Amino acid sequence: MDKKPDQSGSDRRAVCLNCIDGRAQIPAIHWIMENHGIDYVDMITEPGMNGLLADPDRPIDEIQRKIRLSIDVNKASVLVVVGHYDCRGNPVDESEHKRQLSSAVARLRKECPIPVVALWITADWTGEQVTL
């Protein structure tokens, strides 16, 4: 974390849709960097992000705009959707969180030109890929 940000435009970038919860940020960033060979993570946050994305009645235009910006300008090569343990903005059990992640990924894949993966942040605050 002590390296200077790359300004050449050749860094490997991911875009992440995460909860606003501060506890979920660093675990998500570490997991994405380690598992996808990523230098930097563009973070887009909403309270209970996976629940919002899974609800077809909630518009996601503004989130889509930010995703497109990350892909077009920063050349993000993978999109990661996060759900996490003890989410106060989306207080459902783990199996419902994972069902929401599955719905969120399906919704995003309709318009997203890069791979979309789902990440669960566990009770010990580490990342675990969700198999869809």
When the beta carbons of 6 and 126 are compared against Zn ion, the nearer one is: 126
When the beta carbons of 21 and 42 are compared against Zn ion, the nearer one is: 21
Strands 116-121 and 127-130: antiparallel
CB of 87 to Zn ion, least distance (A): 3
For binding to Zn ion (CB under 5 A), which residues are involved?
19, 21, 87, 89
Which are the contacts of 124, defined by CB distance < 8 A and separation ≥ 6? none
- Rounded to 5°, the CA angle 98-69-105 comes to 15
CB of 72 to Zn ion, least distance (A): 28
CB of 82 to Zn ion, least distance (A): 9
When the beta carbons of 42 and 46 are compared against Zn ion, the nearer one is: 46
When the beta carbons of 19 and 105 are compared against Zn ion, the nearer one is: 19
DSSP E strand stretches across the chain:
13-18, 40-45, 76-84, 116-121, 127-130
In 3D, which of 104, 115, 55 has the Cα closest to residue 81?
104
CB of 110 to Zn ion, least distance (A): 24
Strands 40-45 and 13-18: parallel
